[in-house]
Amino acid sequence: MPTPSAQRSWRDALSIYLQAPVLTMLFLGFSAGLPFLLVFSTLSAWLRSDGVEVAAIGFFAWIGILYSIKFFWAPVVDRLALPGLTRALGQRRGWMLLAQLAIAAGLVGLSSLDPVGHLPLVAACALLVAFGSATQDIAIDAFRIESAPDDMQAAMASTYIIGYRGGLIAAGAGALYVASLVSWQAAYLSMAALVGVGVVTVLVRPEPARLALTTQLIHEPRVRAFLRASRGRAAWQRRLGAWAIGAVVCPFTDFFTRHRRKALWLLVFVAVFRISDLAMASMANPLYIDLGFSLATIANVTNVFGIAMSIGGGLLGGLLVARYGIGPILVLGAAATALTNLLFVALSMAGDNLAMLVTTIVGDNLSNGLASAVFIAFLSSLTSRAYTATQYALFSSLMTLPGKFLSGFGGLMVAGQGYAGFFLLASALGLPAIALAIWISRDRSLVPAAGAA
C-alpha cells in the first residue's frame, strides 16, 4: 500500500477495482437495485395492465416514503443484535440476510396474487418489499464503509452504482420481458429468485471487523454517566437505557464533537451538493417532449447513452479519487454537476436537435456518475465507524430532501420563466456547493489525502 503522503500511480489506481471488497459491491449493488422498481414503475405497469384504476395506483407511490424515512430505524439496524443471525454472520451480514429474506417473501407473495381481487394484500406485500429494501440499504452502506479504508470508498461506490443499475435493468426491462412472454406472476417469481445473488454474496463474504457493542458502549462518556446515575435500577432498565443512548443520542453528539464548528457547514454542504441536479430532474422529460422528441427517441438515448455514461462517470470518479484523493475531485464533481445544467439551457434553445440531445444526456449522466461516486466516498469519510448505519442514513436523507422539495416547484418556474430560465437557475443553485467543496478540499482534517490508507 502507498504511504499516506504518496500519490498512487495510474496502475495502482486501476488495480483498486480488482480488490475483493470493491468487487463485492457489484453484487450487493445489484441486490439493492433489484427491489426498487418492483414496487414502483414495474408494479404500476402490472396493476394498470390488469385493469386497476389509475387513482388506486397513485396511492402506491406512498410506498416510497419508506426509503425517505429509513433513518428512523437505522439505529436499530446499527446496534440491535439479531438472535442467531448476528452470532452466525455478524451484525451487518445478519441484517442484510434478514432484509433479503423479507424482500424475497414479499415478491413471492406478490407472485401469488391477482391484483384486481386482492389489492390490499398487494399493497401489504409491496410494503414488505420496500421495508426490506430500505433496511438492506442501511446494512449495505454500513458494510461498505466498514469493509475498506476511505481511499477505496469511491471505487466501491462506483461498482455499487454499476450493480445497482444492473438491478434496475433486471427489475425493469427484465421483469417486463418475462411478463410479456409468460405472466406477471412468473415475472415476480423470477425476481424473487434473483434475490439469491445478494444472499450468496452475504454468505461468502466475511463480516467487516468492528468493536463489540458492549465495548463500544462502555467507552461512551454519556453511557458511562447514565450507568453511574442509574445505579439501583433494574438491570434491564440500565441495559435498555444504555443501548438507547448509544444508538440514538451518541451518533449525533459524536458528529458534532468530532467536527465542532465545522459540523453545521458540513451538513449544509451535504444538503446542497446535489441540489442542482435534483432540482432540475422533474423537468428534463417534459423538456424533451415539448421540444418534439418522440418517446422512443428519448428512451433510446437515455438508456443507451445515459446508462453508459452514468456507469463511466462512476468508474472515472473512483479512479480519480484513488489517484488524486477526495478533495480535488469533490470540487470537480460539484462544478461538473452545476455546469452540465447549462447543456439543458442550450438544448432548450436548439430545439429538436438529436445531436444536442445526445450531448446533453452524455454530459449530464457522466457528471452525475462522477459526482455520485466521489460524494459517497466523502460521506463515508465523515461517518464514524462506531455509528456507520445511523450516521450514513441521516446523511443520505439530508442529501436528497432539499433538491426533491425544490423539484416540486419546477413546473411553476418553467411556466413563468421558460425552460432556459429554469435550467439556468438550477445551474446557479450549484454555486454554493462549489464554494463549500473548495473550502472542504483545502482542509486536510475533512478529506483524506490521496493514497492514504
**Nearest 5°: phi and psi at 40?**
-125, -105
Residues 402, 277: contact at Cβ < 8 Å? no
Which uninterrupted H or E stretch holds 239? helix 235-244
Three-class DSSP category at 390 = helix
- pTM for the complete prediction? 0.74
Tell me the pLDDT band of 1, cut-offs 50, 70 and 90.
very low
pLDDT tens-place string over residues 175-194: 888 998 999 999 999 999 99
Sequential DSSP letters for 167-211? HHHIIIIIHHHHHHHT-HHHHHHHHHHHTHHHHHHHHHSPPPP--
Report percent pLDDT > 90 for the chain: 37
Tell me the pLDDT band of 450, cut-offs 50, 70 and 90.
low
Q: What is the pLDDT of residue 3?
A: 42
Tell me the pLDDT band of 230, cut-offs 50, 70 and 90.
confident
> Around 357, how many Cα atoms within 13 Å sit in the side-chain half-sphere?
22
pLDDT: is 21 or 221 the higher one? 21
According to CATH, what is the number of the domain 10-210?
Answer: 1.20.1250.20
- Residue linked to cell 503522503: 5
Q: What is the pLDDT of residue 227?
A: 67
Tell me the pLDDT band of 150, cut-offs 50, 70 and 90.
confident
Number of Cβ atoms within 10 Å of the Cβ of 40: 19
Q: What is the pLDDT of residue 213?
A: 56
User: Among 61-65, 270-274, 371-375, 433-437, which is the least confidently predicted range?
Assistant: 61-65
Residues with Cβ within 8 Å of 371's Cβ and at least 6 positions away in sequence, in order, are 273, 274, 277, 313, 317, 333, 334, 336, 337
Query: What are all long-range contacts of 176-183, with beta carbons under 8 Å and residues at least 24 apart?
Result: 176/42, 176/45, 179/46
Cell, residue 323: 489517484
Tell me the pLDDT band of 4, cut-offs 50, 70 and 90.
very low
Q: What is the pLDDT of residue 9?
A: 67
> Around 288, how many Cα atoms within 13 Å sit in the side-chain half-sphere?
22
User: What is the pLDDT of the chain when averaged over all its residues?
Assistant: 84
Residues with Cβ within 8 Å of 433's Cβ and at least 6 positions away in sequence, in order, are 269, 272, 273, 274, 275, 276, 334, 337, 338
> How far is residue 70 from each of residues 9, 161, 172, 278, 318, measured CA to CA in Å?
39, 20, 24, 20, 27
Query: What are all long-range contacts of 221-226, with beta carbons under 8 Å and residues at least 24 apart?
Result: 222/249, 222/250, 222/253, 223/250
Polymer length of the chain: 453
3-state secondary structure 296-351: HHHHHHHHHHHHHHHHHHHHHHHHHHHHHCHHHHHHHHHHHHHHCHHHHHHHHHHC
Distance of CA 424 to the CA centre of its chain: 27
**452 pLDDT above the threshold of 50:** no
pLDDT: is 321 or 201 the higher one? 201
Q: Tell me how many degrees the CA angle 355-361-169 measures, rounded to the nearest 5.
A: 125
How far apart, in whole angstroms, are the C-alpha atoms of residue 382 and residue 254? 11
Tell me the pLDDT band of 448, cut-offs 50, 70 and 90.
low
pLDDT: is 164 or 212 the higher one? 164
pLDDT tens-place string over residues 154-179: 788 889 988 998 898 888 878 888 99
According to CATH, what is the number of the domain 261-441?
Answer: 1.20.1250.20
pLDDT: is 279 or 126 the higher one? 126
Three-class DSSP category at 52 = coil
Q: What is the pLDDT of residue 211?
A: 57
Q: Which of 354, 348, 350, 353 lies closest to 417 in space, CA to CA?
A: 348
Sequential DSSP letters for 424-449? HHHHHTTHHHHHHHHHHHT-TTTSPP
pLDDT tens-place string over residues 338-393: 999 999 999 999 988 999 999 999 999 899 889 988 898 898 888 887 778 888 88
Residues 210, 221: contact at Cβ < 8 Å? no
Q: What is the pLDDT of residue 5?
A: 41
> How confident is the model over 298-316, as a mean pLDDT?
81
Q: What is the pLDDT of residue 437?
A: 94
pLDDT tens-place string over residues 69-100: 888 898 889 888 899 999 999 999 999 999 99
